[in-house]
Homo-oligomer: A and B are copies of this chain.
Amino acid sequence: MNDPSPHILVVDDHRDIRETLARYLVKNGLRATTAESAAHARKALKAASIDLVVLDIMMPGEDGLSLCRHLVETGSIPVILLTAMADDTDRVIGLEIGADDYVTKPFNPRELLARIRAVLRRTSIVPRERDPIEQEELGFEGWRLNVSKRELLDADGVVVPLSSGEFQLLCAFLKRPKMVLTRDQLLDLTTGRTPTVFDRSIDNQVSRLRRKIEVDPKDPKLIKTVWGGGYMLTADVKGSAE
């Protein structure tokens, strides 16, 4: 298993800061790329597989905060904000937007490195959405789900056709086994929608999925319902991320 070292993108308009930091990170076993503006950062993000972004909030041109917001909303790359401001309100804004962490300048490189490692440790436990390093095949209770072919095989290797909704629901469960997932979470993970007032669509998809993968859909063993909570996949998943 080749495990390339995490790739950090350092975004700061001060050349000495970003280059010193990048050198320090490389010296400590990480890969680093630098960008001097939000625009350059966007290019770098397209061009390389970045695992984490260290981002200066105060930059000329497009604001660091707006890039941060974009990263948090669209992508799934963790962000550590960097700023010269000691003002509390602005510090809070960054976290409220959804940045994963926050460091004020002047910063101690060793602390920043520790924070980078902490964030990477957290986020690498499970591949984030759209993670390119996704497993091809996930196995559970005799079943196998080929993610790239979107095919579900039973114990005998026979294909069981799944609709795309059922496939996405099953994926959501397989990526988070043995975890109680609320309807809202499942709705978000499968369709990205926000729930309407009386939303029973997830119940229905679960019901449909159970009909296909449960031995006895009336007495489900794989997908259990948690009264007042949501649903949970009880099976062990092989080939899942680690």
Contact = CB atoms under 8 A, between A and B. Distances in A.
A26 interface: no
User: In the complex, which range does the number of interface residues on chain A fall in?
Assistant: 35 or more
A88 B100 contact: no
A156 interface: no
A61 interface: no
Contacts of A224: 149-150
Contacts of A2: 228
Interface string A211-242: 00000000001001111110010101000000
Given A100-B122, A122-B122, A150-B224, A127 B163 contact: no
A101 interface: yes
A164 interface: yes
A164 B229 contact: yes
Nearest to A227: B164
A183 B104 CA distance: 37
A98 B127 contact: no
Contacts of A178: 130, 148
A79 to B, nearest CB: 11
A108 B149 CA distance: 46
Interface string A165-180: 1000000000010110
Contact of A126 (B114, B115, B125, B148): B125
Given A2-B228, A164-B226, A114 B129 contact: no
A96 B117 contact: yes
Given A150-B224, A150-B234, A118 B92 contact: no
Given A2-B228, A227-B165, A229-B164, A98 B121 contact: yes
Contact of A88 (B108, B126, B191): B108
A100 B96 CA distance: 16
B118 A91 contact: no
A111 B129 contact: no
A164 B115 contact: no
12 contacts: A92-B111, A98-B118, A122-B126, A125-B129, A125-B185, A127-B176, A148-B178, A148-B234, A148-B236, A150-B234, A164-B225, A164-B226
Contacts of A185: 125
A110 interface: yes
A89 B113 CA distance: 12
